[in-house]
Amino acid sequence: MKVNTMLYGKATYMILVSCLLSACNATKHEAATPTKQAQKQKDTMSAKTTPQGLQITELKAPPANAAKPQKGQLVTVHYTGYLMDEQGQKGTKFDSSHDRNEPFKFPVGEGRVIQGWDDGLQQMAKGGKYSIVIPSNMGYGARGAGAKIPPHATLIFDIEVLDIQGSTAKDLVITELKAAPAGAPKPKVGQLVTVHYTGYLMDKQGQKGLKFDSSHDRNEPFIFPVGIGHVIRGWDQGIQQMAKGGKYSIVIPSDMGYGARGAGQKIPPHATLIFDIELLDIKN
């Protein structure tokens, strides 16, 4: 009886320990589960689906009150593009601005990129990082794109919004390349200005593309009166913001350039233009 009692007691002890370990494991599991659920809920809350079917997830929050691009503004981004795999995850990488070490710049909402980008970028803020899932009908559709993007592909892009330039679709974007001397004058309406310039078509990457004209090639500066319609509206308005002795790059949207008609054989309809301009002189 004594031996049986000892064995029984030992068995009872082992069962008790086993139960305690099971309870402990269960407690750990129960404690971990809400954390996973909370994380899943957090991930779900950070993802947003637009009425058009874009899924946008914030990967890194932008600074407080950071601006979002509006139609016609120039945005500069870094991105990596993937095909969505059968599990709905990132599959084959097909393109990346990081691999080229060259950010991508384009005007938002003007059809220069796929619709998913045009619509999606307007919901992203400067300084933020995002993941965006683009359904086929807002990407390359039934045609696909080259050898890397098959027909009807759903795409996933990781995008970082680096910069936004211009305040509306009709705004000029002027960048100072060389500062003018301190106190240098700016031209007023009716004054004669003398400039050297080179004009380019903006390419699909938002950069200087085909050169279509240059006063340097003729070794002949261009002289005209400012603000009275002797040149395209982008020049009339833009030159008035430049100072004598400075060098500038100016991006001119189509409606402030040659619009739907274009100009000759070199400037097609609806072209966005980029000019490098040096303001040499101002005269009354």
Summarize pLDDT for 101-148 with one digit per residue, the tens. 999 998 888 788 999 999 999 999 999 999 999 999 999 999 999 899
Name the average pLDDT for the chain.
84
Q: 114, 163, 171, 203: which one is catalytic?
A: 114
**Least confident window among 15-19, 43-47, 72-76, 103-107:** 15-19
Q: 94, 212, 222, 224: which one is catalytic?
A: 94
**Burial of 4 (C-beta count, 10 Å sphere; 0-12/13-18/19+):** exposed
Instruction: Give per-residue pLDDT as tens, 40-66.
Output: 444 444 678 888 889 999 999 999 888
Q: Indicate if 94 belongs to the active site.
A: yes
Q: 79, 104, 197, 258: which one is catalytic?
A: 79
Q: Determine the Cα–Cα distance for residues 190 and 179; give it in Å rounded to an integer.
A: 24
The CA R_g of the chain, rounded to the nearest whole Å, is 30
What tokens does 102 get?
A: 């060259």
Q: Indicate if 114 belongs to the active site.
A: yes
**Of all residues in the chain, what percent carry a pLDDT higher than 70?**
82
The whole-number pLDDT of residue 73 equals: 81
Q: Indicate if 140 belongs to the active site.
A: yes
| Number of alpha carbons in the 13 Å side-chain half-sphere of residue 2 | 0
- More reliable by pLDDT, 64 or 206: 64
Confidence of residue 92 (pLDDT cuts 50, 70, 90): very high
**Is pLDDT above 80 for 168?**
no
**Burial of 250 (C-beta count, 10 Å sphere; 0-12/13-18/19+):** buried
> CB within 8 A of 191, min separation 6: which ones?
225, 226, 282, 283, 284
Q: 82, 104, 106, 157: which one is catalytic?
A: 157
Q: 106, 132, 140, 250: which one is catalytic?
A: 140
User: Which CATH number does the domain 48-165 belong to among 3.10.50.40, 3.40.50.150, 1.10.3720.10, 3.40.50.300?
Assistant: 3.10.50.40
Report the predicted TM-score, pTM, of the whole model to 2 decimal places.
0.50
The whole-number pLDDT of residue 30 equals: 42
Which of 140, 91, 95 lies closest to 115 in space, CA to CA?
140
Sign of CA dihedral 41, 46, 49, 55: negative
The whole-number pLDDT of residue 170 equals: 55
Statement: 173-283 belongs to CATH 3.30.70.260:
no
Residue spans in the chain of domains classed CATH 3.10.50.40: 48-165, 173-283
Q: Are 270 and 254 in contact (CB under 8 A)?
A: yes
The whole-number pLDDT of residue 129 equals: 97
SS3 of 57-100: the string is EEEECCCCCCCCCCCCCEEEEEEEEEEECCCCCEEEEEEEHHHH
